Amino acid sequence: MPENEVGKVIELFVSIKGGERENRQEMSVDEEGIFDDKFYAKGAQRSVLIASLFSYDLALQNNIDAPKGSLGENILIDLNPYNLEAGREVFIGDVVLEITKNCTICNSLAKVDENLPKVLNKDRGIFAKVIKSGKIRKGDSVKF
C-alpha cells in the first residue's frame, strides 16, 4: 500500500469511435482497460495513458496552447509521474494501475502544433495497465 498522497486526478478522457474524445466525471476500468474507450481490450500494456499538468505547462512555456485532453491522455493528474519506473504501482481511488512504459511521441500531436512533438519529447505521458478494477473519478487522490 502507498505511503503518501501525492496528487489528484484533474481530468478524465475516453476516446470514442470516430476520433472524438469525451471528458468524463468518472470512468470504470478493468484488466482490459477503460470501458467505452475505443482502445478497450486492445493491449493491456497500453490500456491507460496518464499525463501530467507538467506537459501542458511545458507546452505553454513554448507558446503552445494545447487544450486539456489533446495529448491523448485518459487521466490527467497534477504531478509529474514521468520518472516512475516500469512495474511501479499507482493507486487512484480504489483502482490499482501498474506503470508499463513511457508514451512515445506520435505525429498526431503535430495537429495541435507542429512543434509540440519536439517540445514534449519524453514528457507526453506514461502507459499503465490495470491491476485492480474499479472506478476513477475527477478529484480522486493519486498515490505511489
| pTM listed for this prediction | 0.93
Predicted local confidence at residue 18, as pLDDT:
77
pLDDT tens column, 45-81: 778 999 999 999 999 999 999 999 999 999 999 998 8
Q: Which stretches of 47-115 are assigned E, i.e. beta strand?
A: 48-52, 75-77, 89-92, 95-102
Predicted local confidence at residue 108, as pLDDT:
81
- Residue type (1 letter), 76: L
pLDDT tens column, 72-111: 999 999 998 888 899 999 999 999 999 999 887 777 888 8
Rounded CA separation 45/19 (Å): 21
Domains delineated in the chain? 5-143 (2.40.33.20)
